[in-house]
């Protein structure tokens, strides 16, 4: 007896394709995001939408091309693995940046423990010359931001996290609050304190003397 054929539902296929087109044109929505771990087309749209900004995020914190490429790959891999746990209390961008902060912070701690720079191959091996040059340019462009990090030593870790996300990574206060898992009011207070401390640091007598030299 011949087995019955499984007939694909054309409306379901069409709906999926329309969903992918919408994601490519307008960005992956909060409703679609949990599917990026199982739907290659949606992940491709999510990757294309966020790659450039995520590379900038990493480049502001990392000054090595291979390391930046590897961390970027790690962040997207972590996004795939945790997408099914996403809840729409935060925007997809804030959710991704939350993952990025954890990955970069863990890499920094691991590097500090080891005391030597790791040889990184996986992320850099995926780069062609054009992509490698693009990351290099983003690292160069982020050099000024990394210099600003040195001036942020006067901030507490909580204040610094919010200030980085808002002033440097250009997230809204609400998105930054979601990334660091505090209320928007708390994030605004931390941002205000950070800006006040940085103004005080840049107008200190020592800095004035340096400007006069």
Domain over 144-203 is classified CATH 1.10.10.10: yes
pLDDT at 127 over 60: no
**Banded pLDDT at 134 (limits 50, 70, 90):** low
What local confidence, expressed as pLDDT, does residue 110 receive? 80
| Residue 118 or residue 170, greater confidence | 170
Alpha carbons 116 and 123: distance in angstroms, whole number = 19
Q: How many CB atoms lie within 10 A of CB 113?
A: 7
pLDDT in tens, 171-212: 999 999 999 999 999 999 999 999 998 887 655 444 444 333
Average pLDDT over residues 97-121: 74
Q: Which residues contact 92 (CB under 8 A, 6 or more apart)?
A: 27, 28, 29, 30, 33, 46, 86
What local confidence, expressed as pLDDT, does residue 74 receive? 94
Average pLDDT over residues 31-37: 94
Tokens 């507490």, located at residue: 156
- 29-141: what fold? Rna Polymerase Sigma Factor; Chain: A (1.10.1740)
| Percentage with pLDDT > 70 across the chain | 70
What local confidence, expressed as pLDDT, does residue 90 receive? 86
Query: Where do you find CATH 1.10.10.10 in the chain?
Result: 144-203
pTM confidence score = 0.71
pLDDT in tens, 35-93: 999 999 999 999 999 998 998 899 888 877 788 889 999 999 999 999 999 988 889 99
The mean pLDDT of the chain is: 79
What local confidence, expressed as pLDDT, does residue 192 receive? 94
pLDDT at 125 over 90: no
Residue 163 burial by Cβ neighbours in a 10 Å radius (0-12, 13-18, 19+): buried
pLDDT at 6 over 80: no
Tokens 């990392």, located at residue: 62
**Banded pLDDT at 169 (limits 50, 70, 90):** confident
Average pLDDT over residues 1-9: 46
Query: Where do you find CATH 1.10.1740 in the chain?
Result: 29-141
Output the CA–CA distances (angstroms, integers) from residue 160 to 63, 118, 124, 152, in the order listed: 19, 27, 29, 7
pLDDT at 148 over 90: no
Q: Which residues contact 65 (CB under 8 A, 6 or more apart)?
A: 124, 132, 135, 136, 139
């Amino acid at each position: 007896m011949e087995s019955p054929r499984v007939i694909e539902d054309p409306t379901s296929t069409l709906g999926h394709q329309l969903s992918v087109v919408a994601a490519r044109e307008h960005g992956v929505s909060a409703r679609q995001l949990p599917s990026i771990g199982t739907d290659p087309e949606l992940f491709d749209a999510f990757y294309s939408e966020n790659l450039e900004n995520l590379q900038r995020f990493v480049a502001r914190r990392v000054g090595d091309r291979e390391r930046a490429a590897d961390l970027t790959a790690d962040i997207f891999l972590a996004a795939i693995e945790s997408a099914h746990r996403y809840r729409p209390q935060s925007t997809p961008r804030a959710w991704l940046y939350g993952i990025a902060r954890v990955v970069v912070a863990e890499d920094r701690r691991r590097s500090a423990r080891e005391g030597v720079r790791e040889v990184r191959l996986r992320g850099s091996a995926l780069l062609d010359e054009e992509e490698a040059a693009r990351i290099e340019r983003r690292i160069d462009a982020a050099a000024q931001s990394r210099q600003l990090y040195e001036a942020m030593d006067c901030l507490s870790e909580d204040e610094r996290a919010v200030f980085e996300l808002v002033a440097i990574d250009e997230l809204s206060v609400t998105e930054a609050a979601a990334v660091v898992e505090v209320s928007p009011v708390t994030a605004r207070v931390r941002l205000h304190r950070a800006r006040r401390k940085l103004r005080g640091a840049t107008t200190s007598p020592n800095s004035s003397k340096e400007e006069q030299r």
